[in-house]
A and B are shown apart, each in its own frame.
Chain A
């Protein structure tokens, strides 16, 4: 009898859990569907295979950045440095492969480590020097932007992009299509697979590992987490380092996609990533957020940009619309919370 009671309460609570957790995702997902249908109706060029693949590809870099930022925002922190750290990682990868002639896997490792170290520094500055995340990562954003310019200047005497001219296969890492080689009708570039792979890993870390658990705990009630004997400083450091690793991955992906490292790129990417996370329902006050939500948020943004471009809306107006969407998304989320 006791078990029957238990299972009854389980079912009940599972339903409420589903309702609360899923509501935001449904909201963002619903918005994505609505936007998709809208553009499909108003433009014959929107819902085509190549355009949809284009949207997926355009999401890859912002999506990967947003995955890392999700962890940081769940702790009620912020990371403004992901955009320029991405650029710096692209630059170190390019230097490793195109200048030093290291093998491509090693070059990728250099890029990932660059991001990881930048994130580690962020984490240490925040947790040991007690600098607020906004300031710490603002500083890192500027330093990484500077370093991405310093490197080519020191190597070539002038600030210029570094091209992967001798290693055409590097470009294939993201722009080739494993799926296309199996199903020729679906030439989805590998960059999209990398995004989904990274998202799976991120989701696993967030829901199944101690790191994810403590990210939520810290964001939910940092002091209570500390009083429970958790080494909050160390875990925070690890979370910023993880975010940096994702920035490093984004750096490798963008270098491969552009077949070059562009030293001036990257500023503003952090805000797009934060916007994607927020649209995806992750609360800036910490404690809640999902990887699926972030992924939907990132797709929503690139779908919007793509659709507006197809409709011939000038780029400057695309920004206006995207900004309005960010505010609307967060406002809907606030309404939903209030209603609960």
Chain B
């Protein structure tokens, strides 16, 4: 066949995870090939191997009929393979042209003199070929994200890229910018460039992709013709049968008492009119794809980010939360998905971390710490939460991910919080420790704590939640009870882009979005 790229039997393991398992992918010249899958399906990992960012453990890559090794990004570029990463790799202080030619500057006369006129002209030629109106002399910092992406594309083209990999290129773009991006993608495709398009936005693929390959749990699931395959089929391929199907272990039904109510929460583009209730003893799952706005909602409730509008009620009383301090005072604790950055003082010991959020309770006059009481409290939670640590004096950075998570829980319990927001509570935690975290969450719920659990792992959401709220692009697109929830239904809500819900409403959707 006329395969430009063929990847076969690719394996890649990261500590604790088999990221890719016999993964397969092929790309033809002159096609846009979409690569889709749930979070953690291995799409980005597979493409980073092709782009030389990661090295594969085993498997083979065939490029233009020849087996190749791609040890680093430079080697990929030399082969004509360029990847545009989700987080753009540009130097904001340099101009557009300087960015395009960084590391390969044409020089004049003495070999250390720059020739900026030449790179400006060459960059202009590239832009002309792309029919793109952009001044090569503007500083990248002054460009929109969309324009910065165009600069990355131009940079890739200047390497004579034959393969262009784009990781979630439309995540930060407006509708008009997406149209511009698609125009350029089609242009490149018609010129014979093979384009890999990683995206969560399934509706979008209908417009731009020729073929769609689905991955799940690091494996290849299948490839379909983008024009004919129904979206439902793609979703069911993405979800599939879960490998670690386990019996839901829901604690008994929560009471009807509402402990937290959020009404009409708005924040810029990321939170749009979010309202929900959380009941006593309930685990409320928040499902959605990356960037759906779940973490943003949590941070807004916790006072970590300012909100534009919206009301928050705790135990039926309206509260003002402007700062995490206010949230803690009202009994709300937030357990960040990035424990190491936001949850723990890594180089401090277990005891200090447990009392960190409520230090003032352990102070004697003159600000002297009552160490007897901090030790007592630390000891209490180490036992109550079964924190596996050799001693209270162990530094938390030496503990495993699951144990660290328990230390954070201990911290919030010490601070007397009864509403706990867990953001990806089992991320980076190995399978054995995961079930311990699940038990802990269930125990907390049974004791009358109310829990919001944000998770991108559908099996986890289904197994743990009494109710599930699904978000997409800053909105709540659906709410499901534990009984009615299935992976398919969650995915359907999670990919429901407002503008593309259905043609009848689409017009109204667009215009109201523009007004808002």
Contact = CB atoms under 8 A, between A and B. Distances in A.
Contact of B92 (A14, A228, A287): A287
Contacts of B135: 6, 9-10, 13
B326 interface: no
B74 interface: yes
Given A5-B133, A14-B137, A16-B142, A229 B74 contact: yes
Contacts of B107: 210
A17 interface: yes
A20 B95 CA distance: 13
Interface in A190-234: 208-211, 213, 216-217, 219-221, 223-225, 227-230
B89 A221 contact: yes
Interface of B is mostly: loop
B139 interface: yes
A57 B255 CA distance: 81
Nearest to B107: A210
B89 A224 contact: yes
A82 to B, nearest CB: 23
Given A17-B138, A229-B104, A216 B93 contact: yes
Nearest to A21: B139
A88 to B, nearest CB: 28
Given A13-B138, A17-B137, A209 B91 contact: no
Interface in B120-165: 124, 128, 133, 135, 137-139, 142
Interface residues of B, number: 26
A288 interface: yes
Shortest 9 CB-CB contacts between residues of A and residues of B: A287-B93, A220-B91, A220-B93, A224-B89, A229-B103, A228-B103, A230-B103, A228-B102, A13-B135
A33 B139 CA distance: 30
A189 B93 CA distance: 38
B296 interface: no
A17 B120 CA distance: 15
Given A10-B135, A228-B102, A208 B113 contact: yes
A209 B114 contact: yes
A37 B137 CA distance: 38
A209 B113 contact: yes
B77 interface: yes
A223 B89 contact: yes
Given A9-B133, A220-B92, 15 more contacts: A5-B133, A6-B135, A9-B135, A13-B137, A20-B139, A208-B114, A209-B112, A209-B113, A217-B91, A221-B90, A224-B90, A225-B91, A227-B73, A229-B73, A229-B74
Interface of B: 73-74, 77, 89-94, 98, 102-105, 107, 112-114, 124, 128, 133, 135, 137-139, 142
Contacts, number: 75
B142 A213 contact: no
Nearest to A219: B93
Contacts of B98: 213, 217
B73 A287 contact: no
B268 to A, nearest CB: 18
A274 B133 CA distance: 41
Contact of B102 (A9, A208, A211, A225): A225
Interface in A9-44: 9-10, 13-14, 16-17, 20
A211 B103 contact: no
A312 to B, nearest CB: 44
Contacts of A287: 91-93
Interface of A: 2, 5-6, 9-10, 13-14, 16-17, 20, 208-211, 213, 216-217, 219-221, 223-225, 227-230, 287-288
A118 to B, nearest CB: 22
A221 B92 CA distance: 8
A209 B135 CA distance: 22
B421 to A, nearest CB: 31
A311 to B, nearest CB: 40
A167 B299 CA distance: 71
Of the candidates A209, A217, A227, the one having the most CB atoms from chain B within 10 angstroms of its own CB is A227
Nearest to B105: A210
Contacts of B104: 229
Contacts of A220: 91-94
A16 B139 CA distance: 10
A220 B102 CA distance: 12
22 contacts: A2-B128, A6-B124, A6-B135, A13-B135, A17-B137, A17-B139, A209-B113, A216-B93, A219-B93, A220-B92, A221-B90, A221-B92, A224-B91, A227-B89, A228-B102, A229-B73, A229-B77, A229-B103, A229-B104, A230-B102, A287-B93, A288-B93
Of the candidates A14, A221, A288, the one having the most CB atoms from chain B within 10 angstroms of its own CB is A221
A230 B137 CA distance: 21
Contacts of B124: 6
A76 to B, nearest CB: 11
B77 to A, nearest CB: 7
Nearest to A16: B142
A17 B90 CA distance: 18
B105 A213 contact: yes
A47 to B, nearest CB: 38
A113 to B, nearest CB: 20
Contacts of A5: 133
A213 B90 CA distance: 14
A106 B98 CA distance: 40
A217 B94 contact: yes
Of the candidates A9, A14, A16, A220, the one having the most CB atoms from chain B within 10 angstroms of its own CB is A220
Contacts of A223: 89
Contacts of A10: 135, 137
Nearest to A289: B93
Nearest to B116: A208
Contact of B112 (A210, A219, A227): A210
Contacts of A224: 89-91
B47 to A, nearest CB: 15
A44 B105 CA distance: 54
A287 B90 CA distance: 12
A134 B77 CA distance: 35
A14 B120 CA distance: 14
Contacts of B89: 221, 223-224, 227-228
Nearest to B77: A229
Nearest to A217: B91
A213 B133 CA distance: 25
A183 to B, nearest CB: 34
A20 B142 contact: yes
A221 B73 CA distance: 17
B53 to A, nearest CB: 8
Contacts of B90: 221, 224
A229 B103 CA distance: 6
A14 B105 CA distance: 22
A216 B114 contact: no
Contacts of A230: 102-103
Contacts of B102: 213, 217, 225, 228, 230
Nearest to A288: B93
Nearest to B102: A228
B511 to A, nearest CB: 31
Contacts of A227: 73, 89
A229 B74 CA distance: 6
A20 B141 CA distance: 11
Given A227-B73, A229-B74, A216 B137 contact: no
A209 B89 CA distance: 23
A100 B90 CA distance: 52
Contacts of A20: 139, 142
Nearest to A221: B91
B49 to A, nearest CB: 16
A220 B90 CA distance: 8
